[in-house]
Amino acid sequence: MGGRREPTARQLRLAAELRRLREAAGLSAREAAALLGVNSVQISQIEAGTTGVSEQRLRRMAAHYACTDGELVDALAVMAADRVRGWWEEYKGLLPTSFLDLSELEHHATFRWDVDFLHVPGLLQTADYARALFSRRVPELPEEDLELRVRHRMQRRVLIEGAQSVPYEALVHEAALRIRVGGRETSRAQLSTLLEVMENEHVTVRVIPFDLEEFADVTAAMVYAGGAVPRLDTVVRDGPQGALFVEGEAQLGVFRTLFRRVEAVALEPRRSRDLIHRLAKEL
């Protein structure tokens, strides 16, 4: 396999999972290399994501690592064989890598959860709403870069609108629906779009109302993308340096728990629809 200049987040995830399997087996990189008949540098490169791994070699590695989770091994084999060049490739060199990594993650997701407290989640945004958000960036974006971000965000909606759409649930705080992003008309159009999207049977939008008590400790906004198996789920959070991909098993468990806690207090879909409709009429 040839070297990679910059591995994608998906390639790095595969590399990290192979490293975890080796470490769980109690093997050093040198010992693993001896079992596979390669040198330790190749193992290090595979585990750094700088060199690809064939499906055949991956299955040999899993066997030597005594991994008995067949579903996980099959999912990793699919990742190893993946040569998809998706629509997001057209933005390579034009947008930050994290934008492309998020699109690739969404392309392979089996389900998607969003929790947001200040804004309507990106997958549900209108172009004008997204443009208003991106225009607030400091330092200010050049017009061309701003429009690239808006176009990319609109194309990401294929996850919930395309032929291969997946189950999607968004938990949105009432505050996010009341904040007038881009002015009255933009906000009204955004709420109307939310109501339209909620007609899709695979899309669930639920509102976290203001009048909850003892909710302040659950404030973890998140994007949660389901993997082929639960171990390959991913959480994406905004950080000071851009998107942060969270994939540790213990951390994923924490975010699953947080999502369920928020879900438990959010309004049911019908009441959520009624509230959004009322807010739209008030604008």
Contacting residues for 2 by C-beta, under 8 A, at least 6 apart: 51, 52
The per-residue pLDDT for range 149-184, each reduced to its tens digit, is 999 999 999 999 988 899 999 999 999 999 999 999
CA distances from 119 to 70, 76, 137, 170 (A): 40, 34, 14, 12
In the prediction, which pLDDT does 143 show? 97
0.95 exceeded by pTM: no
The answer to whether residues 130 and 111 touch, using CB atoms and an 8 Å cutoff, is no
Annotated domain spans of the chain: 9-81, 106-282
CB atoms within 10 A of CB 264: 8
Q: Maximum distance among all alpha carbons in the chain?
A: 70
User: Could you name the CATH architecture of 9-81?
Assistant: Orthogonal Bundle (1.10)
Which CATH topology does 106-282 take?
Endonuclease; Chain A (3.30.870)
List strands edge to edge, sheet with 234-239. Answer: 203-208, 168-173, 112-116, 222-225, 234-239, 242-246
Q: Quote the distance between the C-alpha of residue 282 and its chain's center.
A: 33
pLDDT above 60 for 80: yes
Nearest residue to 78 via CA among 13, 157, 153, 175: 13
The answer to whether domain 9-81 and domain 106-282 are alike in fold is no
The answer to whether residues 131 and 184 touch, using CB atoms and an 8 Å cutoff, is no
State percent of the chain over pLDDT 70.
95
